[in-house]
């Protein structure tokens, strides 16, 4: 037992070190690079009496521009990865991603409506968030009313609701002004953290952490959800209550990510697979590992998106370029085995 605990601790420690390395490196890359030593002094200056050896510009870059965006990227990556991991456990399907319950499609529709009516910034984020949660509520209401296999009912309801909201988004794009509104809608749907700042960070940080806590506390019980429902019920586990809490938390996190970053694919599909390959299938270790790896991955990809060219590349494009070939590799590897 001690060796198992030590092994888990080493895995988590490795992912923590990876995230810290990516976090520090993200400040060192870009138009206004801040070195690791200078970064640590600037960050510690807010809590310790450190003599100022850096410029006001470097401090502004760290606290006003770079730090809020990196934290939003970290929270977004964490949320997408753990949401995909949770849905794959609940639906017992490794091909499931965070948009299985229509949350992403609903949030995309809400953002499109807001952009169509000239809203921007926080208005777009709130509209996307509300529409995403509305889509999940509709899926839950329809899926729960179906008799028999509730998991299958949720999946079928998610496909139906996603299709409806995607059609709505297509209609909005059809009637949008092709000079102003349509480019804004298209760019949002590609996924980007270009506008992520302090307001977006304040919007998501508290509800994101609040949604993550139940998943961590219930991680040991989530192992049982991978069993057939009858077998789990025979063990005295309140399967439906745990499933409802997990779905609500994961859906809230997904809605928040789409609200601030648009549609970012593949993170919630690929990162859980990598986590299971490295950390195993025990949810007590795989859930926090998914959070750390997702945060590190999306922070790294966002750093590349804002640094590789003079104009930012939408982050959703890069995650597709990285995620699709890797997932193809996993499929071919499983096929050979």
Look up the domain containing 190 and give its range.
2-336
**CATH label of the domain that carries residue 305:** 1.10.3470.10
Check residue 17 and give its pLDDT.
95
Inter-axis angle of helices 239-261 and 67-90, nearest 10: 150
Check residue 3 and give its pLDDT.
54
Sequence-distant (≥ 6) Cβ neighbours of residue 108 within 8 angstroms: 128, 165, 166, 169, 188, 189, 258, 262, 263
* Cα separation, 252 vs 215, whole angstroms: 12
Torsion sign (Cα): 243, 133, 327, 21: negative
Check residue 173 and give its pLDDT.
93
Q: Which H or E run contains 306?
A: helix 283-307
Check residue 82 and give its pLDDT.
95
Q: Give the distance from CA 45 to its chain's centroid.
A: 31
* pLDDT, tens digit only, all 337 positions of the chain: 455 556 667 888 999 999 999 999 999 988 888 999 999 999 998 888 888 888 888 899 899 989 999 999 999 999 999 999 998 888 877 778 888 888 889 999 999 999 998 887 788 888 988 999 999 999 988 887 777 667 778 888 989 999 999 999 999 999 999 888 898 898 888 888 887 888 889 989 999 999 999 999 988 888 777 666 666 666 677 778 888 899 889 988 998 998 889 889 889 888 998 898 888 888 889 999 999 999 999 999 999 998 887 778 889 889 988 888 877 877 777 655 5
Check residue 335 and give its pLDDT.
57
Inter-axis angle of helices 198-217 and 239-261, nearest 10: 160
Question: Around 188, how many Cα atoms within 13 Å sit in the side-chain half-sphere?
Answer: 31
Check residue 281 and give its pLDDT.
82
Residue in 241, 240, 235, 253 with CA at minimum distance from that of residue 295: 253
Counting the structural domains of the chain, the total is 1
């Amino acid at each position: 037992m001690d060796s198992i605990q030590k092994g888990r601790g080493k895995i988590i420690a490795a992912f923590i070190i990876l995230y810290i390395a990516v976090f520090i490196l993200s400040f060192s890359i870009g138009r206004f690079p801040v070195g690791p030593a200078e970064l640590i002094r600037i960050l510690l200056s807010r809590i310790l009496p450190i003599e100022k050896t850096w410029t006001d510009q470097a401090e502004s870059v760290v606290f006003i521009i770079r730090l809020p965006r990196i934290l939003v990227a970290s929270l977004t990556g964490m949320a997408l990865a753990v949401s995909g991991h949770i849905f794959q456990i609940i639906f017992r399907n490794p091909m499931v991603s965070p948009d299985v319950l229509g949350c992403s499609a609903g949030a995309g529709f809400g953002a499109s409506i807001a952009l169509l009516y000239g809203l921007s910034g926080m208005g777009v984020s709130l509209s996307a968030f509300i529409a995403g949660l509305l889509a999940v509520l509709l899926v839950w209401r329809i899926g729960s009313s179906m008799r028999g296999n509730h998991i299958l009912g949720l999946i079928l309801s998610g496909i139906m609701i996603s299709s409806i909201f995607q059609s709505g988004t297509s209609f909005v794009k059809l009637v949008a002004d092709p000079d102003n509104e349509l480019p804004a809608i298209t760019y949002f749907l590609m996924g980007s953290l270009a506008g992520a700042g302090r307001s977006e960070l304040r919007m998501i940080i508290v509800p994101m952490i609040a949604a993550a806590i139940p998943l961590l506390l219930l991680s040991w019980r989530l192992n049982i959800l991978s069993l057939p429902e009858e077998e789990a019920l025979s063990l005295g586990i309140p399967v439906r209550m745990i499933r409802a809490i997990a779905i609500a938390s994961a859906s809230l996190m997904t809605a928040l990510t789409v609200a601030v970053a648009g549609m970012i694919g593949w993170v919630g599909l690929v990162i859980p697979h990598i986590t299971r390959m490295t950390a195993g299938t025990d949810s007590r270790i795989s859930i926090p590992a998914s959070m750390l790896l997702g945060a590190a991955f999306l922070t790294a990809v966002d750093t590349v998106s804002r640094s590789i060219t003079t104009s930012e590349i939408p982050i959703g494009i890069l995650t597709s370029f990285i995620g699709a070939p890797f997932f193809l590799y996993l499929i071919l590897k499983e096929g050979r085995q």
